[in-house]
Amino acid sequence: MSPGAAGRLADFESFVAEQMSQLLGYAHALTGDRRHAEDLVQEALIRTGLAWHRVRRKDRPTAYVKTAILRLYLNERRRSSVPAAGYEVDNGAPDPGFTQVDEQDALKQALAKVPPKMRAVLVLRYLDGLPDDEIATALGCSRGTVRTQAARGLAKLRSAYLDGVTRHEA
Protein backbone atom coordinates (compact mmCIF):
# COMPACT_ATOMS: atom_id res chain seq x y z
CA MET A 1 0.00 0.00 0.00
CA SER A 2 1.39 3.40 -0.96
CA PRO A 3 1.96 6.04 1.74
CA GLY A 4 -0.82 8.18 0.20
CA ALA A 5 -3.29 5.29 0.24
CA ALA A 6 -2.35 4.45 3.82
CA GLY A 7 -2.97 8.06 4.82
CA ARG A 8 -6.37 8.10 3.12
CA LEU A 9 -7.31 4.82 4.81
CA ALA A 10 -6.28 6.19 8.22
CA ASP A 11 -8.22 9.39 7.52
CA PHE A 12 -11.32 7.39 6.55
CA GLU A 13 -11.05 5.14 9.61
CA SER A 14 -10.78 8.22 11.82
CA PHE A 15 -13.85 9.74 10.16
CA VAL A 16 -15.84 6.53 10.69
CA ALA A 17 -14.80 6.30 14.35
CA GLU A 18 -15.83 9.92 14.97
CA GLN A 19 -19.13 9.81 13.08
CA MET A 20 -20.42 6.25 13.54
CA SER A 21 -22.68 7.00 16.50
CA GLN A 22 -24.28 9.97 14.76
CA LEU A 23 -24.73 8.04 11.49
CA LEU A 24 -26.34 5.08 13.27
CA GLY A 25 -28.73 7.35 15.14
CA TYR A 26 -29.65 9.09 11.89
CA ALA A 27 -30.28 5.83 10.03
CA HIS A 28 -32.25 4.46 12.99
CA ALA A 29 -34.47 7.54 12.96
CA LEU A 30 -35.23 6.85 9.29
CA THR A 31 -35.77 3.10 9.53
CA GLY A 32 -36.93 2.44 13.08
CA ASP A 33 -34.97 -0.79 13.04
CA ARG A 34 -31.50 -1.17 14.54
CA ARG A 35 -30.31 -3.89 12.17
CA HIS A 36 -31.68 -2.15 9.11
CA ALA A 37 -29.98 1.07 10.24
CA GLU A 38 -26.69 -0.76 10.66
CA ASP A 39 -27.04 -2.23 7.16
CA LEU A 40 -27.75 1.17 5.61
CA VAL A 41 -24.80 2.78 7.38
CA GLN A 42 -22.52 -0.07 6.37
CA GLU A 43 -23.54 0.18 2.71
CA ALA A 44 -23.21 3.99 2.71
CA LEU A 45 -19.76 3.76 4.31
CA ILE A 46 -18.62 1.14 1.79
CA ARG A 47 -19.63 3.45 -1.03
CA THR A 48 -18.06 6.44 0.71
CA GLY A 49 -14.84 4.54 1.40
CA LEU A 50 -14.49 3.69 -2.26
CA ALA A 51 -14.78 7.38 -3.15
CA TRP A 52 -12.99 8.76 -0.07
CA HIS A 53 -10.26 10.42 -2.14
CA ARG A 54 -13.00 12.73 -3.52
CA VAL A 55 -15.32 12.85 -0.50
CA ARG A 56 -12.70 13.92 2.04
CA ARG A 57 -12.08 17.10 0.06
CA LYS A 58 -15.72 18.13 0.41
CA ASP A 59 -16.75 20.68 3.02
CA ARG A 60 -19.14 18.28 4.76
CA PRO A 61 -18.28 14.59 4.40
CA THR A 62 -20.81 13.67 7.11
CA ALA A 63 -23.57 15.29 5.06
CA TYR A 64 -22.37 13.27 2.07
CA VAL A 65 -22.73 10.00 4.00
CA LYS A 66 -26.13 11.02 5.39
CA THR A 67 -27.29 11.74 1.85
CA ALA A 68 -26.07 8.28 0.81
CA ILE A 69 -28.01 6.73 3.71
CA LEU A 70 -31.14 8.69 2.79
CA ARG A 71 -30.94 7.69 -0.88
CA LEU A 72 -30.37 4.03 -0.03
CA TYR A 73 -33.36 4.12 2.33
CA LEU A 74 -35.69 5.83 -0.14
CA ASN A 75 -34.58 3.61 -3.03
CA GLU A 76 -35.31 0.53 -0.92
CA ARG A 77 -38.76 1.84 -0.10
CA ARG A 78 -39.48 2.57 -3.78
CA ARG A 79 -38.36 -0.88 -4.94
CA SER A 80 -39.99 -2.82 -2.14
CA SER A 81 -43.64 -3.71 -2.02
CA VAL A 82 -43.13 -4.61 1.62
CA PRO A 83 -44.22 -1.83 3.98
CA ALA A 84 -41.57 -0.10 6.08
CA ALA A 85 -40.61 -2.05 9.19
CA GLY A 86 -42.18 -0.98 12.43
CA TYR A 87 -40.00 0.40 15.14
CA GLU A 88 -38.75 -2.55 17.13
CA VAL A 89 -37.86 -2.63 20.79
CA ASP A 90 -34.46 -4.30 21.06
CA ASN A 91 -33.48 -5.59 24.48
CA GLY A 92 -29.84 -6.02 23.47
CA ALA A 93 -26.94 -4.06 24.90
CA PRO A 94 -27.51 -0.30 24.53
CA ASP A 95 -25.45 1.41 21.84
CA PRO A 96 -24.65 5.10 22.38
CA GLY A 97 -25.81 5.87 18.83
CA PHE A 98 -29.29 4.58 19.59
CA THR A 99 -29.76 5.66 23.20
CA GLN A 100 -31.31 9.00 22.30
CA VAL A 101 -33.71 7.45 19.78
CA ASP A 102 -34.67 4.47 21.98
CA GLU A 103 -35.79 6.60 24.93
CA GLN A 104 -39.35 7.29 23.81
CA ASP A 105 -41.15 4.17 22.61
CA ALA A 106 -44.50 5.90 21.98
CA LEU A 107 -42.83 8.40 19.65
CA LYS A 108 -41.00 5.62 17.80
CA GLN A 109 -44.21 3.69 17.29
CA ALA A 110 -45.91 6.83 16.00
CA LEU A 111 -43.04 7.62 13.64
CA ALA A 112 -43.30 4.10 12.18
CA LYS A 113 -46.80 5.00 10.99
CA VAL A 114 -45.55 7.98 8.97
CA PRO A 115 -44.91 7.10 5.29
CA PRO A 116 -41.21 6.89 4.30
CA LYS A 117 -40.93 10.12 2.30
CA MET A 118 -42.75 12.13 4.97
CA ARG A 119 -40.54 10.50 7.60
CA ALA A 120 -37.45 11.45 5.58
CA VAL A 121 -38.61 15.08 5.43
CA LEU A 122 -39.20 15.12 9.20
CA VAL A 123 -35.80 13.57 9.93
CA LEU A 124 -33.99 15.97 7.60
CA ARG A 125 -35.84 18.99 8.96
CA TYR A 126 -35.92 18.26 12.67
CA LEU A 127 -33.01 15.89 13.27
CA ASP A 128 -30.57 17.40 10.78
CA GLY A 129 -31.97 20.93 10.93
CA LEU A 130 -31.83 21.35 7.15
CA PRO A 131 -33.73 24.18 5.45
CA ASP A 132 -36.45 23.36 2.92
CA ASP A 133 -34.18 24.15 -0.05
CA GLU A 134 -31.62 21.55 0.99
CA ILE A 135 -34.29 18.97 1.78
CA ALA A 136 -35.85 19.54 -1.64
CA THR A 137 -32.47 19.03 -3.28
CA ALA A 138 -31.79 15.86 -1.27
CA LEU A 139 -35.19 14.38 -2.12
CA GLY A 140 -35.37 15.67 -5.68
CA CYS A 141 -38.62 17.59 -5.23
CA SER A 142 -39.82 21.19 -4.86
CA ARG A 143 -39.77 23.33 -1.71
CA GLY A 144 -43.57 23.30 -1.76
CA THR A 145 -43.59 19.50 -1.73
CA VAL A 146 -41.22 19.55 1.25
CA ARG A 147 -43.51 21.90 3.16
CA THR A 148 -46.57 19.81 2.28
CA GLN A 149 -44.84 16.55 3.26
CA ALA A 150 -43.65 18.12 6.53
CA ALA A 151 -47.11 19.40 7.44
CA ARG A 152 -48.81 16.12 6.59
CA GLY A 153 -46.05 14.11 8.27
CA LEU A 154 -46.36 16.14 11.48
CA ALA A 155 -50.15 15.71 11.43
CA LYS A 156 -49.79 11.92 11.01
CA LEU A 157 -47.10 11.80 13.68
CA ARG A 158 -49.18 13.86 16.11
CA SER A 159 -52.29 11.74 15.52
CA ALA A 160 -50.43 8.43 15.83
CA TYR A 161 -48.57 9.62 18.93
CA LEU A 162 -51.74 10.76 20.66
CA ASP A 163 -53.46 7.48 19.76
CA GLY A 164 -50.53 5.54 21.23
CA VAL A 165 -50.39 7.58 24.41
CA THR A 166 -54.16 7.25 24.87
CA ARG A 167 -53.96 3.45 24.42
CA HIS A 168 -51.13 3.19 26.96
CA GLU A 169 -53.06 5.23 29.51
CA ALA A 170 -56.24 3.18 29.10
Alpha-carbon distance values, 82 to 30, 86, 106, 109, 116 (Å): 16, 11, 23, 18, 12
What are 25-68's pLDDT values in tens digits? Answer: 999 989 988 999 999 999 999 999 888 888 887 778 998 899 99
Assess contact for 61 and 55: CB atoms under 8 A.
yes
Same domain, 28 and 80: yes
pLDDT, block means (10 residues), the chain with 170 residues: 70 92 92 92 93 82 91 80 49 52 64 90 90 92 95 91 66
Same domain, 5 and 35: yes
pLDDT of residue 142: 95
pLDDT of residue 82: 46
pLDDT of residue 165: 61
Domain that holds residue 162: 102-170
- Domain-ending residue, one of 85, 119, 153: 85
Q: Is residue 96 part of a domain?
A: no
The Cα–Cα gap between 51 and 3 comes to: 17
pLDDT of residue 89: 45
